[in-house]
Structure 1
Amino acid sequence: MTRPLAKAVAVVTGGGTGIGRAVTLALARAGARAVVVTYRRSAAEAEATAAQVRSLGCEAMVEAADVADDAQVRRMAERVVENFGELDVLVNNAGTTRAVDHADLDGLTDEIWHEVLDTNLLGAFHCARAFAPALRASRGAIVNVASISGYRAGGSSIAYGVSKAALLQLTRNLAVALAPEVRVNAVAPGTVAATRWQPGLHGEEGFARRAAAEREVVPLRRTAEPEHVAQAVVGLLGMDLVTGEALILDGGKHVLY
């Protein structure tokens, strides 16, 4: 970024829990002036995260917005810019999934397709479009939170993997569309511990077994934490000449596929 991160105003969608919470707190610790935490359902968690942000000496604003709803996103963008006068950083972290076995094609209904794509793909586009004028004015940056499932045929469902693959392509397209003022990059985590997603999909014990087995073959022999993803997001925000790129965070597992 051409402006120091210490002076930044940032929006983190889905910023109250998991990876989003870690990113929100990392930005506050990096000295951001203000961080906006958005949520769809996790109001209490968003407020708790905002309180932590304020304890770090950073302004915080909590916004309810379903990123799948373009009208809600546009209204949120208006409130953010009206309140802070600018925006420097957008982290498109809000996402959803539904567990459907890849072989169960009939189980992957149109409803599930729309739910996943509307949030994971269109949601990121809605936010990028709504905040584009402010980001251009500040010569800011966007980081999209994708997934290793965007590169390979794995993950919780076909719809989820496709949504993340499309998000990676959206990252490249937006990097061109918003250049030269705005840089657009992505992070693509593999398995991430200490979030609600994996235990929700596999159960606490099931996830623990899967993570332990994975660590036996992952080159770095570690399972990523949300803070590792936040570290990558903050790193990309500081890379002035990098745009249209995606950084995989899976301890090196992808090099073995």
Structure 2
Amino acid sequence: MELRDKKVLVTGGGTGIGRAVSLALADRGAVVAVNYSKSVNEAEETVRMIQDQGGHALAIQADVSREEEVLAMVDTLAREWGAIDLLVNNASVTRHIPMDDLDAVTEEAWDELFQINVKGMFYCARAVAPFMKKQKQGVIVNVGSIAGITGSGSSLPYAVSKAAVHGLTRSLAKSLSPYIRVNFVAPGAVLTRWWEGREQQMEQLAGSLLLGKTALPADIAHMICTVLEQEALTGQIITVDAGQSMQ
């Protein structure tokens, strides 16, 4: 699929991997909606970065855990653009809880992570699906983590939420075929703001990886663009982790 002139919604598009994806898509000629929940300044800065390079983008607010906000956002974009071709389901949250401290895992943590990381992705996919079906073409990429494969990560409920999105991806790929492709990109450790204050831990991890370094947000963005372009790919989980999941 040629990405030029495609209309793309990137959730959590103002920071980290979301920003890198937004920039990479715009560089390929796509028109990008940079979604944010609270990071308005970062989202608007991402839009300015795209526009400064001659690209087309807009910032749009919605909390993906609230379906009414998702529907309003998608309706606004559909009226603005006339179509929504691609969705990058990137918005996500975590809680840093030691994996062996089960008593520290609260009901609130479970609810927040599943509401945003799993149900939020479903809400966004369901909202854009009618527009993609109408044009008989569309692509959804869910962005997750190798925590959903390895079972370890920033917290137990985070890892479980990402494993749930693996299942969601496969089920959506079946439910939305043949016109809508759905895939999952699972990054390993990537130096984003989630690692602020723990840079030393990141450096130690990087030294243990097969490639001797962690991936950058741009590496993940490049893979997401490749997955969007590849027309014979659906229902797949693709890791970009510098060999982390092989340890």
Category of TM-score, reference length = shorter chain: over 0.9
Give the drift of 1:134. Answer: 1.2
User: 1:65 is matched with which residue?
Assistant: 62
User: 2:228 is matched with which residue?
Assistant: 237
Query: Percent of aligned pairs with the same residue?
Result: 43
SS of the equivalent of 2:208 reads: coil
From 45, 59, 79, the equivalent of 1:82 is 79
Q: Is the 8 A contact 2:85 2:138 kept in 1?
A: yes
Residue-by-residue CA offset, 1:51-80 (whole Å, 9 max, x unaligned): 112222222121110000000001111000
Residue-by-residue CA offset, 1:71-115 (whole Å, 9 max, x unaligned): 000111100000000011100000001111222222211111111
- The runs of at least 4 aligned residues of structure 1 exceeding 6 Å deviation read none
SS of the equivalent of 1:46 reads: helix
From 232, 242, 246, the equivalent of 2:237 is 246
From 122, 126, 129, the equivalent of 2:126 is 129
Give the drift of 1:217. Answer: 2.6
Residue-by-residue CA offset, 1:203-235 (whole Å, 9 max, x unaligned): 1xx32x223222333221121110011011001
Give the drift of 1:184. Answer: 0.4
Aligned pair in 2 of structure 1 residues 217, 105: CA closer, same or farther (>3 Å)? closer
Q: Distance in 2 between matches of 1:9 and 1:56?
A: 18
Report the AA paired with residue 179 of structure 2: E
Paired residues in the alignment total: 246
From 32, 35, 40, the equivalent of 1:35 is 32
Matches within 5 A, 1:1-257: 1=1, 4-32=2-30, 34-138=31-135, 139-193=137-191, 195-199=192-196, 203=197, 206-207=198-199, 209-256=200-247
Q: Distance in 2 between matches of 1:49 and 1:63?
A: 12
Unpaired runs of 5+ residues, structure 1, are: none
SS of the equivalent of 1:106 reads: helix
Q: Distance in 1 between matches of 2:51 and 2:133?
A: 27
Report the AA paired with residue 236 of structure 2: E
Q: Distance in 2 between matches of 1:104 and 1:221?
A: 29
Report the AA paired with residue 117 of structure 2: N
Indicate the RMSD between aligned Cα atoms, in angstroms: 1.1
Q: Distance in 2 between matches of 1:218 and 1:108?
A: 29
Unpaired runs of 5+ residues, structure 2, are: none
Q: TM-score w.r.t. structure 1 length?
A: 0.93
Residue-by-residue CA offset, 1:22-61 (whole Å, 9 max, x unaligned): 00000000111x1001111100000010111222222212
Residue-by-residue CA offset, 1:99-133 (whole Å, 9 max, x unaligned): 11222222211111111110000000000000001
Q: Is the 8 A contact 2:10 2:89 kept in 1?
A: yes
